[in-house]
Structure 1
Amino acid sequence: MMNKEFLTDRVADLLARSGFSVSDRCYVRPRSFDLAARRGGILLILKILSNIDGLNEKTAVEIRRLAKYLSGNPLLIGEKTRDHGLEGGVVYFRYGVPTVSLHTLADWIVEDIPPLVYAAHGGLYVKIDGGLLRKLRLESGISLGALASELSVSRRTVSKYEIESMDTTIEVALRLEELFGQELIKPVEILEQRSPVAGVQCLIDDKVLSHLAQIGFEVFPTVQSPFNAITQNEAMVVLTGVGKLSPTMMKKARLMSSLSIITKTRSAVIVDGETKVERVEETAVIETRELEMIDKTSEFADLMSEKQDR
């Protein structure tokens, strides 16, 4: 089994070769995710673990929230669960985070072959096109009862396949495709259509973040990320770091710069004390005393622009 670092290398290389822009790695701890990657309108917030059972619920919740705030999608890449490897072409889920093997990722982003099977309690399942199934059954003159008998299921189950597009086993789906001579299995939706989050304010106990909220930003604090919050209004989204000026903070600022490029956001660190540093790569460095003189989101945006242009 590959260790985490080697697996991360493989994932980053595969993404880059497939036309994705890939962020620097999140070496700063704690870290809920390891990479961000973008290709066109697809933004992935990626966690990489050799054993996917290592993902805990707290981390999964943060990855999902980050993806939602950034209009992206969470994705876990791994090799095994419990004592066996992840199967190719199968999507697993860990606390709501879609999870695939490196092989499945390669099929999807390189060969454009989406996964068709997902794992759930009790086994492997597929999604079928219920509307097309009903159309084919009626055109073939097959009754609900006859089809149910052929599949060794109840009439109610067949009805649910058609009307509710209820998921089924691989065996039943393949039998249906054999009977009607058409593909009925639908790809598993790894990517969900997302829109920017608005109108949900979180509890904020940090003085700096509270000030940003008071001047009109929506502030979404983070716990396990290289930044302390995602700060946004209608005009911009800012990866926001808060803390003392230190080598660690500068390291975070560089990482935030890389992440902001991939996520198409802006980045700023707000530091205690005085500094002559105006920016670290694309991350604006703002002193708390400068922030205290600001009472409008537009003034904050102007201050960031001034520092980033110097």
Structure 2
Amino acid sequence: MKKRISEIEMLKGFLEAKGFNTFTNNGCFDIIAKKGRDMFLLKVLLNIDSLTENEARNLKIIAKYMSATPIIIGKRTRKENLHDFAVYERFGIPSITNTTFKNYIAGIKPFIKATRGGLRVKVDSKKINKALSKYSLHYLAQAAGISIKTARKCRDGNVISLEMACRVEELLNDSIACGIDLEKDYKVRDIEATCPFERLVEYVLGNFDMAFSFVKRTPFNMLLKKDEIMISTTSQNMSLIKNKIQQMRTFKEKFDVPSFIIIKRTKRKVMAGLPIFGIDEIKDLGCYENLCYEVKERSAARV
């Protein structure tokens, strides 16, 4: 545990030194880092196989709503240490070493894909076809010690084993690997309400013509999106709300995300700098546009 915490702190320091705005969380993610349009949602694990399916689903939902890139930073699997410059996957989320991530931030993309069949490389067909202007396909295969089938895969820009790629690179004295882009769109089913009050909130917001999902083990427990992203904490238990307020305020200030609280009933308009609504108030607002307007009005009031 201490080693993992140390890894998180060092990674946070690295990102801040590179100009990223960061937020740490002890839950489904460890760090959110944002700089310009780039936003990374990071989970640090010594063993990437310890990631659970529920954690992965929460990560992908947050990534989808916040247009962020989820990445697992790890050292090993149950069977082996992770290779630098290689991308592994757990539940569809890219998993890489600390060194690989730092290189990625510096603009150096990983180029090895770890699969069940071993380490693979996607070939840059432009470089191979440039070489084929000098050599025949059969010469390339023979000189590199690869099969004609593998040579054709190189020519067509397909995936080949790392070992075969190294042989071709040695012959051509040049890299033939395509860099791997870690950003991608996540299509994931939203998490449904799990308690009676969440189900009530879900029912009321179902008429607001917007996407929303509940999430777990985060500073907020709901993400909403139509024209812009909003976050919310919903609970009929005020003590649970109080435990999340400071984290929500910090998150809101760091990333400029409209944030609000939904509770069973309240006479207050603002609580600790965050807009607060009773569920009947949300129902009376009736639509997404009215909700956005009221959140902004109460945020500006801060009373």
Would the TM-score normalized by the shorter structure come out above 0.5? yes
1:222, distance to aligned residue in structure 2 (A): 2.5
Which of these residues, 256, 264, 270, is aligned with residue 262 of structure 2?
270
1:265, distance to aligned residue in structure 2 (A): 3.0
* Contact 1:37–1:262, Cα closer than 8 Å, also in 2: no
Q: Which moved more, 1:220-229 or 1:74-83?
A: 220-229
Match of 2:155 in 1: 162
* Contact 1:4–1:48, Cα closer than 8 Å, also in 2: yes
Which of these residues, 95, 100, 108, is aligned with residue 91 of structure 2?
95
Q: In 2, distance between residues paired with 1:260 and 1:159? A: 53
1:231, distance to aligned residue in structure 2 (A): 1.1
Mark the runs of 5 or more structure 1 residues left unpaired by the alignment.
Answer: none
Match of 1:47 in 2: 43
1:171 paired with 2:175, answer: no
Match of 1:309 in 2: 300
Distance 1:157-1:55 versus aligned 2 partners, 3 A rule: same
Match of 2:201 in 1: 208
Letter in 2 for 1:160: K
Distance 1:154-1:43 versus aligned 2 partners, 3 A rule: same
* Contact 1:36–1:259, Cα closer than 8 Å, also in 2: no
Q: In 2, distance between residues paired with 1:262 and 1:143? A: 57
Q: In 1, distance between residues paired with 2:223 and 2:234? A: 11
1:292, distance to aligned residue in structure 2 (A): 2.3
TM-score (norm 1): 0.84
1:161, distance to aligned residue in structure 2 (A): 2.4
Secondary structure of the residue aligned to 2:155 is helix
Secondary structure of the residue aligned to 1:191 is coil
TM-score (norm 2): 0.86
Q: Which moved more, 1:38-47 or 1:152-161?
A: 152-161
Q: In 2, distance between residues paired with 1:224 and 1:172? A: 44
Match of 1:26 in 2: 25
1:275, distance to aligned residue in structure 2 (A): 5.0
Match of 1:249 in 2: 241
* Contact 1:88–1:101, Cα closer than 8 Å, also in 2: yes
1:101, distance to aligned residue in structure 2 (A): 2.0
Q: How does 1:1-310 map to 2 (within 5 A)?
A: 3-23=3-23, 25-27=24-26, 31-82=27-78, 84-109=80-105, 111-137=106-132, 139-140=133-134, 142-163=135-156, 165-192=157-184, 194=185, 206-234=199-227, 236-261=228-253, 264-274=256-266, 276=268, 278-281=270-273, 283-310=274-301
How many residue pairs match? The answer is 297
Q: What RMSD over aligned residues (CA atoms) do the two structures have, in Å?
A: 2.7
1:254, distance to aligned residue in structure 2 (A): 2.8
Q: In 2, distance between residues paired with 1:2 and 1:115? A: 28
Secondary structure of the residue aligned to 1:265 is coil
Secondary structure of the residue aligned to 1:186 is coil
Mark the runs of 5 or more structure 2 residues left unpaired by the alignment.
Answer: none
Letter in 1 for 2:43: K
Letter in 2 for 1:162: R
1:278, distance to aligned residue in structure 2 (A): 0.3
Letter in 1 for 2:90: R
Letter in 2 for 1:143: S
* Contact 1:273–1:288, Cα closer than 8 Å, also in 2: yes
Secondary structure of the residue aligned to 2:232 is strand
* Contact 1:279–1:307, Cα closer than 8 Å, also in 2: no
1:221, distance to aligned residue in structure 2 (A): 2.8
1:42, distance to aligned residue in structure 2 (A): 0.9
By relative contact order (CA 8 Å, sep 6+), the higher-ranking structure is: 1
Q: In 1, distance between residues paired with 2:230 and 2:164? A: 48
Secondary structure of the residue aligned to 1:268 is strand
Letter in 2 for 1:220: S
